[in-house]
Structure 1
Amino acid sequence: MQDRVPVGQNDMHGYTVAYEREEIQFPVYVVGLIGVVLATLGIVHGISVLFALALITLGYAYYNFPLLETGRPRIGASQYGIFAEGLGIIAWRSIKQLDLVSLNLRGAEVNELHIILEEPLNRALLADWRKRPYYRFLMRLPWAMPAPNHIRIPLEVFDRPADEIMRNFTRMMGFFRR
């Protein structure tokens, strides 16, 4: 076992999950290309509406740029707890409950991992990775916090099935909380 808690996101070992490599990259490239074409047309023809549409589409591509960085761990679990990119390491002792929630959104089933914390997030984090470089500030994160002490992680964009992720997180939590 390691003696120290990992400080950075690139220092994580254990069960890690990255963004899926196949289907989610294509729309980001397409929207980026459409944005470049719209910007070019807007500048060449002097049409400000096209340039405004270009900014919207390029903003969407920028927000989703992390989906192109496949192979890099985005979420996972180790001996210390569950980690998520842009959040940090949540200590096993601070996790009250883990749930796999299936939602039906517009006819498609979406799975989310819900992490309920026993204490405030600042005390639950062993390592705090919420400070990001300024150029990544508006980019996608693999988690959301809709309420205090409640973290949601949509699992559909990852390279592992939702039930496998949940099974491994639950197994590791049972083992390391002893």
Structure 2
Amino acid sequence: MSQNHFNGYTLAYERDEIQFPVYVVALIGAGFTAAAIAFDNVFLFGLALCALGFAYYNYPLLETGRPRLGAGQYGIFVEGLGIISWRAIKQIDLVAINLRGAANNELRITLQEPLERALLANWRKRPIYRFLMRLPWSMAAKNVIRIPLDVFDRPADEIHANFMRIMSFYRR
């Protein structure tokens, strides 16, 4: 099973608000690059590299039609990680985090065993050109996977409810 052919409940990045800042920062980076070349200024070139690096890191947010997260009969699919087996999942929590006055939601998947044994399919090896790009997950502790949900095309509570429903169905 490949990363592009996952069946079940899938989620993609949101289409509306996320793309605009990436395009704006890329345009600003291109402007700084042109100004750096025109004025032969190293400081402007440094600013251009920072802006273009931010746009490069967030480029996956522009690929909105592609599934990034999902659940099916074998487990939970996470892009750039793999398929986490249902039997390896101890619990799935929806956590609200207040960050600088803004409420953000994240899914925390606690594993019963180490990540290497929990993965049915390991997709952590990425092509070299995608190595520095954004991933939709991070490791919080030894066996806890954090997935920020506010960038996806469905509400966080709906995502959590569907994952819990699918997990209870396939764990029987």
Bucket of the pairwise TM-score, normalised by the shorter protein:
over 0.9
Residue of 16, 22, 25 corresponding to 1:22: 16
How many angstroms apart in 1 are the aligned matches of 2:37 and 2:116?
Answer: 47
Q: Secondary structure at the match of 1:11?
A: coil
Tell me the residue number matched to 1:3: none
Name the aligned partner's letter for residue 32 of structure 2: L
Q: Secondary structure at the match of 2:80?
A: coil
Name the aligned partner's letter for residue 164 of structure 1: E
Tell me the residue number matched to 1:138: 132
What is the identity percentage for the equivalent residue pairs of Structure 1 and Structure 2?
Answer: 69
How many angstroms apart in 2 are the aligned matches of 1:42 and 1:71?
Answer: 35
TM-score by length of 1: 0.96
Tell me the residue number matched to 1:75: 69
Residue of 114, 123, 128 corresponding to 1:129: 123
How many angstroms apart in 1 are the aligned matches of 2:125 and 2:168?
Answer: 30
TM-score by length of 2: 0.99
User: Aligned-pair distance for 1:147?
Assistant: 1.5
Residue of 95, 112, 121 corresponding to 1:118: 112
User: Aligned-pair distance for 1:39?
Assistant: 0.7
Residue of 149, 167, 170 corresponding to 1:173: 167
How many angstroms apart in 1 are the aligned matches of 2:65 and 2:94?
Answer: 23
Gaps of 5+ in 2: none
Tell me the residue number matched to 1:108: 102
Residue 61 of structure 2 corresponds to residue 63 of structure 1: no
Residue of 13, 20, 35 corresponding to 2:29: 35
Residue of 147, 151, 154 corresponding to 2:141: 147
Q: Secondary structure at the match of 2:77?
A: strand
Q: Secondary structure at the match of 2:4?
A: helix
User: Aligned-pair distance for 1:23?
Assistant: 0.3
Tell me the residue number matched to 1:95: 89
Give the number of aligned pairs.
172
Residue 41 of structure 2 corresponds to residue 47 of structure 1: yes
Report the RMSD for the aligned CA atoms in angstroms. 0.5
Runs of 4 or more consecutive aligned structure 1 residues displaced over 4 Å after TM superposition:
none
